[in-house]
Chains A and B, each alone.
Chain A
């Protein structure tokens, strides 16, 4: 800075040479000082202008692209379009899971400066319970700021009007119409169709659809099994929005893919009729014996799937889960039971195939079977006398099958059981359906226990470690009836395209000798239709053909020797200790179309409690499908 020093020198000079022209000189001096200083100012200002120019250049040219992208992001907002969820139809096209309109109030966090204030105002217009507010706030934290969160669903018309009127005081609140799941048949098909619920954190599989408000995922049954197919794919609109998120215009729209309808094989009317006949703890499965379609599957008690849709409250949930009758459990596919005497056909076929016994070979039944120290009783204390296979099945002689099991060994029995679909995965479209257990020596040893011969003997009459579902018993019956390894299934078509397994030819032959099968079928026919058979009560009324079947009664509790000697009667036991009652059957005997299995928990006697239900179910099935006999029967047979 030389400048000031020069000035100072001049200053001194000015004082020394003061003259008459002082004023003028002073003016000159001031002017020149001013000029220099003005130049300094001008230079500085020019420099600052240069700086601004440089800033602009940096922002607009060097970083222009980055900011252009940001501006686009500001301007564009992609919104997902929620596709309608596919429906579930029964075999007659009746809707058993549908969608209905649902007016909802949504809140978009990014469109309001104060979420709390908006909710406060909202609750003065439409009262919100504390737990509703807590849920909204929880979801707000979980979702991204631009994703709308449902504040209130199923708005009534007046509520909507009130919200619309107060819209200016409710920044961030929008009203839209969505769909909600409805199950017109409520509890009748709940175990089959299942239910939907809002997705939980663990359901978030990366599908953007799950972020949408009001979206539901299948939680059980068909809804869960076919969830992805029924969900469809999200569409998207690209919108131009302004700073407060108001939509200016739509730039681009990609329609999503609506979820596909699922047609299931169940006949709703049949299902309802059968359900009406059974009590708590009973389950019935009616199958098309030829192709494995499940025509009805009832389990009592049931529940109303509609309550899960809006989000079930804690109290409701506790009530459902704490109920000892387990309404949420589909006993037909999840309940596990020992098959009892209904299993005897399998033991018989194993014996015939292994040539452990001849069809005509007679085994004498004195009413009990001794193995070393142990004595195993026949249900008939007096004994059946000489029994061949046909009469042993017809009369359900236990001693015959004790002896046969002893000859076969457990593993050959179990192998035959698995061929009949028991203790194996049946791939039914019901998540949570149980595979069950077909015990073997190895299985027992894996538990660290030995397998005794006495165990084998007991398993010959279907008692012991077996854990089988009514569904697998129906499958066994269908396979006995047709000789084909049909698998039970519920899906007839997906989005109009027939699902696999609808035709009998889709299922392979069992590979069991025809002669053996005929013998066992004939014995099952005798159970129902011949004098002295254990289930004469299951005889069908005239004109419907004849049913073949087998009863079963399985002990829940061991009967002690003293009880036996005192002339014990099961009716004297409290209900929860009474034996389960079972019946399996198919009809018509000469041209099998339907297979049925019935399990009545603590029903005491297969012939007394289960057989009549099986008969009624079979009659109802015929009635439903006889309406237009030629077409109906053909329809059932073709399974299309």
Chain B
């Protein structure tokens, strides 16, 4: 709880700066949204874990339904259909889907004994459970999120005890398929990969974001330029500074020290998830916790790796810090379930026998 509040506070400070010292622009909204999500998280936290497990199939169907809705008539933003309009709330179903997927897989594997996990046929159903949303997200098209979703699914499989050689086989197959996939990528997705390999090749075009982000990070130095003093951010050289590049903003103004501090804080959150997973007496809770932790970790890693120019830009926010509702909402729903797992860690919740 405290950890999450700390993360939220970091977000507030960063967004205050991103709004050029004007809290109304981003920061206030962020705080309000965070408060709302916190309450919701606590509510979810007190729901019985078994109830949550039972809700998994319903959640999965809803998630897929939303993805299909987006595919049919979603809002088009930045060349892709990713948003669905739910009254006052615009939601990215792909974000929600990741949480739902964790939930569903945890529920599925909860019922699986070690032997059954070893049975390849038993894995067909969860594999389909993973591939359907991955495929839908990929079709949006959103390569980054679909990859993340796939990796997340893989992590769940791993934690559930799927045999290592199966992973080896899949990874090998993926490596073999990579060139074919590249052939079928959209133009802008290929541009991302090529500009990642050589960002200077197009400094005003596709490589602009990465270059400006690196300049902002690098110029921050060890101690940073000081709160509200970041030139890259405030003079708008840094694009999307309030969302995807919020970490750059922090690193520019607070330097390596601030960046590492933020990273450490986020790492503690992930660590907490792992702690919950270890302490849980039932497989569902364990898998849920580790899945949520991994999900959050993937957000952080992909985002920070992206802004430091380590992997191609992928439009992945830094949840709880970035400005934006979808990621925060889904992350907080996830943490709500995590808390529920923590609260009911000792509950009698044996694998269902059917």
Chain A: residues with CB nearer than 8 A to chain B?
A: 1, 3-4, 7, 11, 14-15, 23, 26-27, 29-31, 33-35, 37-38, 40-42, 45-46, 48-49, 51-53, 55-57, 59-61, 63-64, 66-68, 70-72, 74-75, 240-244, 248
With CB as the reference atom, state the residue of chain B lying closest to A45: B297
Interface centre among B115, B231, B234, B305 (most CB of A within 10 A): B231
| B159 with A41: CB separation less than 8 A | yes
| A38 with B114: CB separation less than 8 A | no
**Inter-chain contacts of A68 with B (CB < 8 A):** 218-219, 221
B237 within 8 A of A: yes
Interface centre among A26, A34, A59 (most CB of B within 10 A): A59
| A30 with B158: CB separation less than 8 A | no
- 12 A-B pairs whose Cβ atoms sit less than 8 Å apart in the complex: A29-B114, A38-B286, A45-B270, A49-B263, A52-B263, A56-B259, A56-B304, A59-B214, A60-B259, A68-B219, A70-B215, A75-B235
With CB as the reference atom, state the residue of chain B lying closest to A26: B113
| B236 with A30: CB separation less than 8 A | no
**Inter-chain contacts of A242 with B (CB < 8 A):** 234-237
**Inter-chain contacts of B274 with A (CB < 8 A):** 38, 41-42
B121 within 8 A of A: no
- Taking A11-B115, A42-B274 as contacts, is the C-beta distance between A53 and B260 under 8 angstroms? yes
Query: What is the minimal beta-carbon distance from B160 to any residue of chain A, in angstroms?
Result: 8
| A244 with B218: CB separation less than 8 A | no
Q: Kindly state the separation between the CA atoms of A579 and B164 in the bound complex, as whole angstroms.
A: 112
- State which of B221, B263, B278, B287 has its C-beta within 8 Å of the C-beta of A64: B221
With CB as the reference atom, state the residue of chain A lying closest to B310: A55
Query: What is the minimal beta-carbon distance from A325 to any residue of chain B, in angstroms?
Result: 54
| A3 with B301: CB separation less than 8 A | no
| B161 with A30: CB separation less than 8 A | yes
| A11 with B118: CB separation less than 8 A | yes
**Inter-chain contacts of A1 with B (CB < 8 A):** 164
| A34 with B222: CB separation less than 8 A | no
Within 8 A of A (CB), among B106-153: 113-115, 118
When each residue 213-247 of chain B gets 1 if its CB lies under 8 Å from chain A and 0 otherwise, what string results? 01111111110000000011011110000000000
Closest 5 CB pairs of A and B: A67-B218, A71-B219, A242-B235, A243-B236, A68-B219
B283 within 8 A of A: yes
- Taking A26-B114, A71-B216 as contacts, is the C-beta distance between A37 and B231 under 8 angstroms? no
| A56 with B165: CB separation less than 8 A | no
- State which of A61, A63, A75 has its C-beta within 8 Å of the C-beta of B222: A61
| A67 with B305: CB separation less than 8 A | no
- Taking A243-B236, A243-B237 as contacts, is the C-beta distance between A45 and B294 under 8 angstroms? yes
| A60 with B222: CB separation less than 8 A | yes
Q: Kindly state the separation between the CA atoms of A242 and B308 in the bound complex, as whole angstroms.
A: 22
B155 within 8 A of A: yes
**Inter-chain contacts of B305 with A (CB < 8 A):** 51-52, 55
Query: What is the minimal beta-carbon distance from A60 to any residue of chain B, in angstroms?
Result: 4
- State which of B161, B217, B310 has its C-beta within 8 Å of the C-beta of A60: B217
Query: What is the minimal beta-carbon distance from B297 to any residue of chain A, in angstroms?
Result: 5
- State which of A7, A51, A64, A241 has its C-beta within 8 Å of the C-beta of B219: A64
Query: What is the minimal beta-carbon distance from A199 to any residue of chain B, in angstroms?
Result: 28
| A74 with B114: CB separation less than 8 A | no
With CB as the reference atom, state the residue of chain A lying closest to B220: A60
| B221 with A60: CB separation less than 8 A | yes
- Taking A64-B218, A240-B235 as contacts, is the C-beta distance between A4 and B164 under 8 angstroms? yes
- Interface size counted on chain B using CB atoms at 8 A: 54
| B301 with A49: CB separation less than 8 A | yes
**Inter-chain contacts of B118 with A (CB < 8 A):** 11
| A33 with B221: CB separation less than 8 A | no
**Inter-chain contacts of B93 with A (CB < 8 A):** none
B256 within 8 A of A: yes
| A71 with B158: CB separation less than 8 A | no
Besides A48-B297, A67-B219, A75-B232, 18 more A-B contacts (Cβ < 8 Å) are A23-B350, A33-B161, A34-B286, A38-B277, A38-B286, A41-B274, A42-B274, A55-B305, A57-B256, A59-B309, A60-B220, A60-B255, A66-B218, A67-B214, A67-B216, A68-B218, A75-B235, A75-B237
| A53 with B231: CB separation less than 8 A | no
With CB as the reference atom, state the residue of chain A lying closest to B231: A75
| B251 with A74: CB separation less than 8 A | no
- Taking A41-B155, A41-B294, A52-B263 as contacts, is the C-beta distance between A71 and B232 under 8 angstroms? yes
- Taking A49-B301, A68-B221 as contacts, is the C-beta distance between A244 and B158 under 8 angstroms? no
Interface centre among A15, A29, A70 (most CB of B within 10 A): A70
Query: What is the minimal beta-carbon distance from B180 to any residue of chain A, in angstroms?
Result: 27
| B218 with A52: CB separation less than 8 A | no
**Inter-chain contacts of A61 with B (CB < 8 A):** 221-222, 256
Query: What is the minimal beta-carbon distance from A40 to any residue of chain B, in angstroms?
Result: 8
Query: What is the minimal beta-carbon distance from A521 to any residue of chain B, in angstroms?
Result: 77
**Inter-chain contacts of A15 with B (CB < 8 A):** 115
With CB as the reference atom, state the residue of chain B lying closest to A68: B219
**Inter-chain contacts of B231 with A (CB < 8 A):** 71-72, 74-75, 240
B54 within 8 A of A: no
Q: Kindly state the separation between the CA atoms of A242 and B237 in the bound complex, as whole angstroms.
A: 7
Query: What is the minimal beta-carbon distance from A26 to any residue of chain B, in angstroms?
Result: 5
Q: Kindly state the separation between the CA atoms of A34 and B236 in the bound complex, as whole angstroms.
A: 47
With CB as the reference atom, state the residue of chain B lying closest to A75: B231
Q: Kindly state the separation between the CA atoms of A498 and B143 in the bound complex, as whole angstroms.
A: 77
Within 8 A of A (CB), among B202-216: 212, 214-216
Q: Kindly state the separation between the CA atoms of A1 and B168 in the bound complex, as whole angstroms.
A: 12
B73 within 8 A of A: no
Q: Kindly state the separation between the CA atoms of A59 and B219 in the bound complex, as whole angstroms.
A: 8
**Inter-chain contacts of A75 with B (CB < 8 A):** 231-232, 235, 237
| A35 with B114: CB separation less than 8 A | no
Q: Kindly state the separation between the CA atoms of A42 and B260 in the bound complex, as whole angstroms.
A: 19
B267 within 8 A of A: yes
Q: Kindly state the separation between the CA atoms of A14 and B221 in the bound complex, as whole angstroms.
A: 56
B186 within 8 A of A: no
Q: Kindly state the separation between the CA atoms of A226 and B47 in the bound complex, as whole angstroms.
A: 90
Q: Kindly state the separation between the CA atoms of A66 and B232 in the bound complex, as whole angstroms.
A: 14
| A34 with B159: CB separation less than 8 A | yes
| B350 with A27: CB separation less than 8 A | yes
When each residue 307-335 of chain B gets 1 if its CB lies under 8 Å from chain A and 0 otherwise, what string results? 01110000000000000000000000000
Q: Kindly state the separation between the CA atoms of A3 and B167 in the bound complex, as whole angstroms.
A: 14
Q: Kindly state the separation between the CA atoms of A29 and B290 in the bound complex, as whole angstroms.
A: 18
| B232 with A74: CB separation less than 8 A | yes
B190 within 8 A of A: no
With CB as the reference atom, state the residue of chain A lying closest to B237: A243
Q: Kindly state the separation between the CA atoms of A67 and B255 in the bound complex, as whole angstroms.
A: 13
**Inter-chain contacts of B286 with A (CB < 8 A):** 31, 34, 38
With CB as the reference atom, state the residue of chain B lying closest to A29: B114
**Inter-chain contacts of A67 with B (CB < 8 A):** 214-219
- Taking A60-B256, A70-B218, A75-B231 as contacts, is the C-beta distance between A34 and B161 under 8 angstroms? yes
**Inter-chain contacts of A64 with B (CB < 8 A):** 218-222
Query: What is the minimal beta-carbon distance from A112 to any residue of chain B, in angstroms?
Result: 11
Query: What is the minimal beta-carbon distance from B278 to any residue of chain A, in angstroms?
Result: 7
**Inter-chain contacts of A23 with B (CB < 8 A):** 350-351
Query: What is the minimal beta-carbon distance from B22 to any residue of chain A, in angstroms?
Result: 16
Q: Kindly state the separation between the CA atoms of A166 and B198 in the bound complex, as whole angstroms.
A: 38
- Taking A4-B164, A49-B263 as contacts, is the C-beta distance between A37 and B218 under 8 angstroms? no
**Inter-chain contacts of B115 with A (CB < 8 A):** 11, 14-15
